[in-house]
Chains A and B, each alone.
Chain A
Amino acid sequence: ILNVEQSPQSLHVQEGDSTNFTCSFPSSNFYALHWYRWETAKSPEALFVMTLNGDEKKKGRISATLNTKEGYSYLYIKGSQPEDSATYLCASPNYGGSQGNLIFGKGTKLSVKP
């Protein structure tokens, strides 16, 4: 069974701090790694879909890297702002299934204090 792990579970930073967290996944039969940002009472918002080893993607102050050989991805937030407070989820497609659902980590909950 595919297992996606995220660390840390939660993170508290001050406004202006840069931060990063990790998603690890099985490196065999890799297709893609998805990152979502999930604010309370809202829909999870897609940040990145990463497919190639060495990929680096950026969206504003948020960026992500991918290492498929060792099975991890990092998400970085530069100069955190209170509006970055959310739970960040990573997910891997269920390759064993036929429908294309995602298998999620438990998420990293980020709190940014003003």
Chain B
Amino acid sequence: GAVVSQHPSRVICKSGTSVKIECRSLDFQATTMFWYRQFPKQSLMLMATSNEGSKATYEQGVEKDKFLINHASLTLSTLTVTSAHPEDSSFYICSAPKPYSVKFTDTQYFGPGTRLTVL
């Protein structure tokens, strides 16, 4: 298998503060990482795709200036929620395919997620 860690697992912050979430591939290199979020009773929804060494691509409706993604190395992608507000409270989770994986048919490996609560 392959291991992806995510930190922190839970964060509570005040409205207006910024929060950084780290996603690390521990035993493989990840040129691509996906960031999803899940609101209560909803499915995991893709927010953005993080690519090592280039700009992230964001899904429609996701503000790139609010959700800053940095994929500076082959094992680390960070998601920073800037000026967080209560409506940003959600569950954020990352995933990565292994290198040279076949795009649609190979397994993706997930972190355990981060529960963000903005007061």
Contact = CB atoms under 8 A, between A and B. Distances in A.
Contact of B43 (A32, A42, A44, A106): A106
Contacts of A107: 43
B105 A32 contact: yes
Contacts of B95: 102
Interface size grouping (class) on chain B: 20 to 34
A102 B36 CA distance: 10
Contacts of B57: 99
B67 interface: no
Contact of A42 (B41, B42, B112): B112
Q: Which of A34, A95, A99 is the most central at the interface, judged by chain B CB atoms within 10 Å of its CB?
A: A99
B107 A43 contact: no
Contacts, number: 61
B61 to A, nearest CB: 13
Interface string A1-41: 00010000000000000000000000000011010100001
Contacts of B93: 44
A50 to B, nearest CB: 9
A102 B109 CA distance: 11
A41 B112 contact: yes
Nearest to B49: A99
A44 B110 contact: yes
B62 interface: no
Interface of B: 4, 9, 32, 34, 36, 41-46, 49, 57, 93, 95, 97, 103-113
Interface of A: 4, 31-32, 34, 36, 41-44, 46, 49, 51, 89, 93-95, 99-107
Given A102-B108, A104-B43, 17 more contacts: A31-B104, A31-B105, A41-B9, A43-B4, A44-B110, A49-B106, A49-B107, A51-B105, A93-B104, A99-B34, A99-B103, A101-B46, A102-B34, A102-B95, A104-B45, A106-B43, A107-B43
